[in-house]
């Protein structure tokens, strides 16, 4: 199922949203994006003051915003004032990516005998399902019952276990993915608005950087508009859940059953103990150490060591819980 | 493997359990059930005072009970006094559902070429394993390596990801189930009694109601006697565990890695943050909000917002942990 | 992929590690092992004072140690003093088990028609992938899409669900393994040393003892040098993570989403509530009861009941959290 992007006139978008707004000059909108990575031709949105700094510098051609954010919209961007910028953005997303809210399979599967011809020096197990459009590099080992979907690129020297499902992802060289992990599924995104269910289309990718390892039965969801990224030589143990648009830096270590909620950014050289959870939209600095079963609900500065629920500095955790 | 139910005379059941009891009139018992949903011809049990209200109103023809519950058994039900009502009920269950304690596969698989003939307007991926007896509606999309077992009904417009296993379930219309989820497996039920392992047969179904969504790598177990139910337009994120005989209401939202233990009932419009756990046999009201990583060990009234381990009202959690 | 063990002269090992050490007599080293189970011909290591008692009694022919442990090395063992015993041991492990740090599939799959001839009285579903070298006993039931790898032995009367992956494991009689579980994958082990990634080879097995049950979507990793063991009649619910070299005793009960970190030893008749986590290298006694969502970070004596994060005795948990 390839992306179905259409150009849409901004006037048509405004009409579709039932907004009363006069724009001086009509323009073509090519795609949806978020404030940070938007480029000319994109439409974006802002309703959370956390992202005002991105709004001020956005390159989006148009931006759906709350009224009080009007003064922060840069000159290159046409402000679209809305009572519900997020809801309206979701509606538009579905306009650009019609019927794109659910993951579906392609009907075009490369025949087993053609896989060896198409990709060089790869080995694969029984029942390897490779959809047309997927790209696979050299010296790649693939287990049994693996599914690689059309929007995926697998680079050289990658090792993939059995029962793995990869879609909408770029797997860089020397990555190791263990059995049963699901990479690149749509994120968990929907809103109920005036009794109607609105599903958020997910069009970002998952990027697993060079040398990283993903354990067994992990989930790494694609971002809604931007990419979910696992850094270089970052190691994930089993049963880890990484939500949409999370970015994890290089040389991190996540122990089993960790969960990271959407849009959180984690620095380099971070270690996270088993069963810890990190809320969404947070920023975790470099060289942070997070103890096991910790619940992180606010940002953590560089070089901190934390533990507990809610997370506190380790010395405080010890003082509070262990020395008495 | 279809259910193997036999009618069994109550006198035979009493003899099998080695109970000394004279019943005035012998009757035929058709099935096992729980107090709440039992109908005429069923045998049920009660050993927990939590369920006395159900005992008082049960329609079960016979009821295995602790001696002190005798006065609560209604006139329509024959009391069977036992020192271990639960153990005796498990023993009887195995009598009715011989060799039914383990999930097994059917040997009758519908041939791929026959699936298209049998079910109208469905699409499915490679290696779709559909056991005879399964029913599939219109406009259903099914991924690769999906297994649908004989006791399952899939209604119209359902979307099923890859590597999904569905058994003993009713999947209502417009439901979306993501990759790797396992729906309708037997629950986690067994007892050791006098050195002997007794497995509890699970004969309930899983019902996923209209418009609900189940994320990736989730588990939803069937109930032992009654059904596990996910309500309408309720959304589950990835890696969620729903145990036997849980009932979740409509329009709920469960974030990733949540676990709900057996027999717990959750109201409508409830949201549960990531990694939260809810103990078994609890009642969670309507419009309840449960923060991330919360451990719920007692009932929660309507409209409450809780967080913490153990769960407390949000304002108390903030007072205790954040403001100091 | 069979083990590739070579005999290596100790002098060659010392040279490979760039250690300056004169040994009186050169010997052949046959294998790597840990202190406790090492036998003549093995090389082992010790850098953690927790394991000094094992060092004193080890039968290993050579032992890589920190300088200050020299006096504890028994006469039968040649001490190899190193600044980084663990790192040097990992390097040697990769010497013995070249290219063994990643799980790969065998290219030799037994043809479906030959499986019935080879193994007696077994039933199996569609797409059963059985690698040559696997051994399967009598009366074994195997679901759909199951993968059994070459280094595995399945004993009589075992029941295996669908989408299960078993490698490097011994599954004893009467065991039940549910859908989607992954047994015997390599553990989560690596070190960064002077900018170089060192993967720890995992050569231990997983042993699931008689009558045990493993739920759905569980992970049980093999040990790095010694075996991971699940005891007799021990029951695991869904989504449980058991790390390398964990040993769980007999008649235990682990509720869903529990995680046990590497090298922890759990006694008999232990029950662990849902979502609890146990740190690595701990010892949990017999008859211990661990409440739901508990975080265990130190040893627990026999017969204790604990709950909380960090774990405390139940009466203390109740006093602190519930009665006020």
C117 and C90 both lie in a single domain? no
- The per-residue pLDDT for B5 is 67
Nearest CA in chain A to C147: A144
Choose between A324 and A96: higher pLDDT: A96
A125 and A254 both lie in a single domain? yes
Cβ neighbours of A180 in C, within 8 Å:
163, 165, 180, 182, 217
Query: Within a domain: residue C106?
Result: no
B131 and B212 both lie in a single domain? yes
For chain B, the residues whose C-beta falls within 8 A of a C-beta of chain C are 102-105, 107, 109, 127, 129, 145, 147, 163, 165, 180, 182, 185-186, 188, 190, 192, 197, 217, 219, 221, 239, 241, 243, 257, 259, 261, 275, 277, 279, 295, 297, 309-310
The answer, yes or no, to whether residue A23 has pLDDT greater than 70, is: yes
With cut-offs at 50, 70 and 90, classify the pLDDT of residue A96.
confident
C156 and C227 both lie in a single domain? yes
Q: Are A292 and A255 in contact (CB under 8 A)?
A: yes
- How many contacts, defined by CB atoms under 8 Å, are there between A and B? 114
- Print the domain residue range for A286: 112-321
DSSP structural state of residue C88: H
CA distance between the termini of chain B: 60
Query: Within a domain: residue B103?
Result: no
The residues, ordered by sequence, that sit 6+ positions from C21 with a Cβ below 8 Å of its Cβ are C14, C80, C81
| CATH code, domain with C84 | 3.40.1390.10
Q: Are A310 and A291 in contact (CB under 8 A)?
A: no
Query: Within a domain: residue A299?
Result: yes
Q: What percent of chain A has pLDDT over 90?
A: 82
Rounded Cα–Cα distance for residues B304 and C174 (Å): 46
A91 and A118 both lie in a single domain? no
pLDDT tens digits for C79-93? 999 999 999 999 998
DSSP H or E stretch at residue C8: strand C8-9
Query: Within a domain: residue C1?
Result: no
Distance from CA of A253 to the nearest CA of C (A): 10
Q: What is the mean pLDDT of residues C15-28?
A: 88
Q: Are C149 and C129 in contact (CB under 8 A)?
A: no
Of B216, B275, B292, the CB nearest to A219: B216
Of B109, B192, B297, the CB nearest to C126: B109
Peptide bond into C310 cis (omega under 30): yes
Q: How many domains does chain A divide into?
A: 2
C277 and C155 both lie in a single domain? yes
The residue out of C68, C96, C124 marking a domain boundary is C96
C149 and C194 both lie in a single domain? yes
With cut-offs at 50, 70 and 90, classify the pLDDT of residue A128.
very high
With cut-offs at 50, 70 and 90, classify the pLDDT of residue A193.
confident
Which of these, C270, C189, C201, lies nearest to C230 by C-alpha position? C270
Choose between C2 and C230: higher pLDDT: C230
Give the DSSP per-residue string, B200-261: PP----EEE-TT-EE-TT-EEEPPSSS-EEE-TT-EE-SS-EE-TT-EE-SS-EE-TT-EE-
The answer, yes or no, to whether residue C100 has pLDDT greater than 70, is: no
The residue out of B31, B65, B96 marking a domain boundary is B96
B168 and B303 both lie in a single domain? yes
Helix (H, G, I), strand (E, B) or coil at C70: helix
pLDDT tens digits for B233-283? 999 999 999 999 999 999 999 999 999 999 999 999 999 999 999 999 999
- Contact between chains at A257 and C279 (C-beta distance less than 8 A): no
Helix (H, G, I), strand (E, B) or coil at C159: strand
Residues of chain B whose pLDDT is less than 50?
1-2
Query: Within a domain: residue B106?
Result: no
Cβ neighbours of B105 in C, within 8 Å:
123, 125, 141, 143-144, 162
C159 and C65 both lie in a single domain? no
CA-to-CA separations, A84 to A298, C200, C262, in angstroms, rounded: 26, 52, 49
Q: What is the mean pLDDT of residues A177-199?
A: 91
Rounded Cα–Cα distance for residues A180 and A219 (Å): 9
C88 and C138 both lie in a single domain? no
The answer, yes or no, to whether residue C250 has pLDDT greater than 70, is: yes
Query: Within a domain: residue B101?
Result: no
Which of these, C108, C75, B75, lies nearest to A123 by C-alpha position? C108
- Contact between chains at A275 and C261 (C-beta distance less than 8 A): no
Using the structure block, give the residue that is written with the tokens 């004072």. C49
With cut-offs at 50, 70 and 90, classify the pLDDT of residue C2.
very low
Phi-psi region of B29 (alpha: psi -120 to 50; beta: other; left: phi over 0): beta
Q: What is the mean pLDDT of residues A289-317?
A: 97
C275 and C317 both lie in a single domain? yes
Rounded Cα–Cα distance for residues C5 and C203 (Å): 11
- Contact between chains at B188 and C215 (C-beta distance less than 8 A): yes
- The per-residue pLDDT for B1 is 40
DSSP H or E stretch at residue C166: strand C165-166
Largest CA distance in chain A: 70
Of A256, A275, A292, the CB nearest to C243: A256
Q: Which of A285-294, C107-116, C308-317 has the lowest mean pLDDT?
A: C107-116
Query: Which pTM does this prediction carry?
Result: 0.94
Using the structure block, give the residue that is written with the tokens 């016979």. B62
Neighbours of chain C (3+ CB pairs under 8 A): A, B
- The per-residue pLDDT for A1 is 40
- The per-residue pLDDT for C22 is 80
- Contact between chains at C256 and B257 (C-beta distance less than 8 A): no
Dihedral Cα B155, B160, B166, B172, nearest 10 deg:
-30
Rounded Cα–Cα distance for residues A315 and A317 (Å): 5
Q: Are strands C159-160 and C8-9 parallel, antiparallel or unpaired?
A: unpaired
Q: What is the mean pLDDT of residues A125-137?
A: 95
Q: What is the mean pLDDT of residues A268-291?
A: 98
Determine the residue among A130, A182, A191 to mutate to test chain B binding: the one whose Cβ has the most chain B Cβ atoms within 10 Å: A182
| CATH code, domain with A133 | 2.160.10.10
The residues, ordered by sequence, that sit 6+ positions from A65 with a Cβ below 8 Å of its Cβ are A45, A46, A47, A55, A73, A79, A80, A81, A82, A85
- The per-residue pLDDT for A6 is 76
Query: Within a domain: residue A137?
Result: yes
pLDDT tens digits for A230-250? 999 999 999 999 999 999 999
DSSP H or E stretch at residue B141: strand B141-142
Rounded Cα–Cα distance for residues C210 and C137 (Å): 13
| Helix and strand numbers, DSSP H then E, in chain B | 5, 36
Query: Within a domain: residue C309?
Result: yes
The answer, yes or no, to whether residue C309 has pLDDT greater than 80, is: yes
Peptide bond into B128 cis (omega under 30): no
Of A216, A251, A292, the CB nearest to C279: A292
A138 and A272 both lie in a single domain? yes
- The per-residue pLDDT for C304 is 98
Model-level ipTM above the cut of 0.90: yes
Q: Which of A197-206, C32-41, C275-284 has the lowest mean pLDDT?
A: A197-206
The residue out of A96, A125, A140 marking a domain boundary is A96
């Amino acid at each position: 199922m390839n992306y179905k992007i259409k150009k849409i006139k901004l006037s048509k978008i405004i009409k579709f949203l039932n907004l009363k707004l006069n724009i001086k000059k009509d323009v073509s909108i090519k795609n949806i994006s978020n404030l940070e990575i938007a480029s000319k031709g994109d439409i974006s949105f802002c309703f959370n003051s956390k992202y005002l700094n991105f709004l001020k510098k956005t390159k989006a051609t148009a931006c759906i915003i709350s009224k009080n954010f009007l003064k922060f919209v840069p000159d290159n961007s046409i402000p679209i004032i809305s009572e519900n910028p997020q809801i309206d953005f979701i509606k538009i997303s579905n306009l650009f990516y019609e019927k794109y809210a659910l993951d579906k399979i392609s009907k075009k599967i490369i025949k087993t005998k053609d896989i060896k011809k198409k990709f060089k020096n790869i080995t694969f197990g029984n029942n390897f399902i490779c959809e047309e459009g997927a790209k696979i590099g050299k010296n790649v080992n693939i287990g049994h019952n693996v599914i690689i979907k059309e929007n995926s690129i697998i680079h050289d020297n990658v090792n993939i276990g059995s029962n793995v499902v990869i879609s909408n992802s770029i797997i860089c060289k020397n990555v190791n993915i263990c059995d049963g992990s699901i990479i690149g599924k749509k994120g968990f995104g929907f809103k109920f608005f005036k009794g109607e269910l609105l599903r958020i289309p997910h069009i970002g990718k998952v990027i697993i950087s060079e040398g990283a390892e993903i354990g067994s039965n992990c989930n790494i969801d694609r971002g809604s508009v931007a990419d979910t990224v696992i850094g270089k030589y970052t190691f994930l143990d089993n049963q880890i859940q990484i939500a949409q648009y999370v970015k994890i830096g290089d040389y991190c270590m996540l122990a089993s059953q960790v969960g990271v909620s959407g849009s959180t950014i984690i620095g380099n050289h971070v270690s996270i103990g088993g069963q810890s959870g990190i809320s969404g939209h947070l920023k975790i600095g470099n060289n942070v150490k997070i103890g096991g079963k910790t619940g992180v609900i606010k940002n953590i500065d560089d070089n901190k060591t934390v533990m507990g629920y809610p997370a506190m500095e380790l010395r405080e955790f010890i003082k509070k819980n262990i020395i008495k």
